[in-house]
Amino acid sequence: MATFYDPNVTLNGQPMGSEFAVPATASNIALYLVAQFLGAFIGAIIMYLAYKKQFDEDAPAAHKLGVFSTGPEVRSYGWNLVTEAVGTFILIVFVLVAGGTPTAVGPLAVALVIVGIGASLGGPTGYAINPARDLGPRIAHAVLPIKGKGDSDWGYSWVPVVGPIIGAVVAVVVTYALSLSSLDFWPL
């Protein structure tokens, strides 16, 4: 069974023809997407429960929101969108090109790429690079009774959703245009 925690990987690249392949049917894709967003939402609730006493302390509302969702260091929607798109582009190209690694090194390499993206591009936006990672916890922040939480910054919420989608789609187009993919993927 394949394990995708990122809707961009689910929508833009389903590995086919391997022992871990999941048929790219509409129902399977829909199920993965629901599970990814629901998992991020539930994970945020569990985190809140684990740290409830800390959340009850007097901390700035922005710090409390920052635990749940990403936020820009400098709010510039256009540049923040570009940063999210570039980070996701790098991740998806790497997954598509190196995704066929037959050893256990593949997942470690992907993890190291994510760390590299965070170290190099994380400052401007907090690098969601995954729509579920930001939106699910942001919704949890909105519905949970967090003391002194402030608003959930819905005005910015589209950036960590749309930016990664743009980056992932461009990554798939470039990867296939240059015939770099090591797997037989089903592109959108």
- Is 1 domain-assigned? no
Q: What is the mean pLDDT of each run of 10 residues along the chain (188 residues)?
A: 61 49 72 89 97 90 93 94 96 81 75 93 91 95 95 96 93 82 49
Type of residue at 113 = V
Type of residue at 81 = L
Domain span at residue 68 reads 7-186
pLDDT value of position 11: 64
The total number of structural domains in the chain stands at 1
pLDDT value of position 56: 92
pLDDT value of position 16: 40
- Is 2 domain-assigned? no
Task: Find the CATH number of the domain harbouring 67.
Answer: 1.20.1080.10
Q: What are phi and psi of 185, to 5 degrees?
A: -100, 155
